[in-house]
């Protein structure tokens, strides 16, 4: 393995490990448990699940994988805080979205040619990328893994 | 920047960003708030802070940076769960440990030659490393950043 292969493997291993850990947490939690706040006065489990789906869905256009699958989740789960929207998508539906999205992302990620990970993502201009070549597609996986870990630490509190 | 420089920068940027976010969270929390459980029946803030220090302290021998600074924290904050040890190190003292450790880690990390990040860390044997070259020093930063993010998501709930 050359350095780029090793690097991509390290980053994707961590991404997939945290997706698996989130799957495991979701399997341990009932839809009812997801309705609860992770701590008094804080976000509910269902909001965090929707938030993770919306943020990961946004990776599709950023990584040039295509359009979002669930654009309707951007408003209630990213732009709005929890409890601002009266009726959220149900936990049962969000679970199916989470699985569908992971299956699409996995297929796209696994099909990405190695070199492409080091090219710019769609949220950075060509000019900025020339000055800041670390703002590449692989970096999107790094930052989203960190974001996922942060919220997974909260979700798990519902157990 | 060549590929290795870019990779190391991506990983270290994320590490330092999460250290900074944890510093910010700690600055917002009083010692009294750190005595509280992050959610009912869950770990207390002070335990999480001690746990992060103990885990990061362990990076010193793993990365060949030297001995742990606070070996006495391994037992109460890693081997034992919260509330198993009657008297924990005070929050005020843990804050000074956290700062000291970050200053030492930052100095060692910034002094690491680029190529060294892709060499094996001390928790993997030479034989295993030859088969699994992703088990290198940079990967320790990746996994510890993910661990830090997970617990930072919990600490922040004390605000």
Query: Each residue's pLDDT tens digit in chain A (159 positions)?
Result: 899 999 999 999 999 999 999 999 999 999 999 999 999 999 999 999 999 999 999 999 999 999 999 999 999 999 999 999 999 999 999 999 999 999 999 999 999 999 999 999 999 999 999 999 999 999 999 999 999 999 999 999 999
pLDDT for B141-153, tens place per residue?
A: 999 999 999 999 9
From chain A, pick out residues whose CB is under 8 angstroms from the CB of B1: 133-134
Contact B134 A14 (CB under 8 A): no
Please report the DSSP string for B125-155 in residue order: -HHHHHH-TT-BHHHHHHHHHHHHHHHHHHH
Contact A150 B147 (CB under 8 A): no
Nearest C-alpha in B relative to A135: B10
The parts of chain B modelled with pLDDT lower than 50 are none
Half-sphere exposure of A64 (CA within 13 A, CB side): 14
CA dist A156 and A63 (Å) reads 29
User: For B85, phi and psi rounded to 5 degrees?
Assistant: -105, 125
Please report the DSSP string for A85-116 in residue order: SSSPPPHHHHHHHHHHHHHHHHHHHHHS-GGG
Partner B contacted by A6 (CB < 8 A):
yes
Residue of B10, B18, B142 with shortest CB distance to A134: B10
Q: Coil, strand or helix: which one is A80?
A: coil
From chain A, pick out residues whose CB is under 8 angstroms from the CB of B39: 38-40, 157
At A131 the pLDDT is 95
CB pairs under 8 A between A and B: 87
Provide CB contacts within 8 A for B71, sequence distance 6+.
Answer: B57
Residue of A42, A142, A149 with shortest CB distance to B10: A142
At A103 the pLDDT is 98
The predicted model scores a pTM of 0.97
């Amino acid at each position: 393995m050359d350095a780029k292969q090793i690097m991509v493997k390290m980053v994707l291993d961590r991404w997939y490990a945290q997706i698996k850990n989130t799957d495991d947490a979701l399997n341990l939690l009932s839809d009812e448990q997801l309705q609860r706040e992770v701590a008094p006065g804080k976000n509910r489990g269902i909001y965090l699940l929707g938030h993770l789906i919306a943020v990961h869905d946004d990776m599709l256009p950023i990584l040039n994988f295509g359009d979002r699958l669930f654009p309707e989740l951007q408003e209630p789960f990213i732009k709005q805080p929890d409890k601002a929207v009266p009726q959220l998508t149900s936990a049962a539906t969000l679970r199916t979205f989470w699985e569908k999205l992971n299956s699409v992302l996995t297929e796209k990620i696994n099909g990405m040619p190695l070199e492409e990970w080091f090219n710019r993502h769609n949220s950075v201009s060509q000019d900025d990328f020339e000055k800041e070549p670390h703002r590449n597609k692989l970096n999107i996986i790094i930052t989203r893994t960190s974001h996922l870990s942060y919220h997974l630490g909260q979700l798990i509190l519902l157990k």
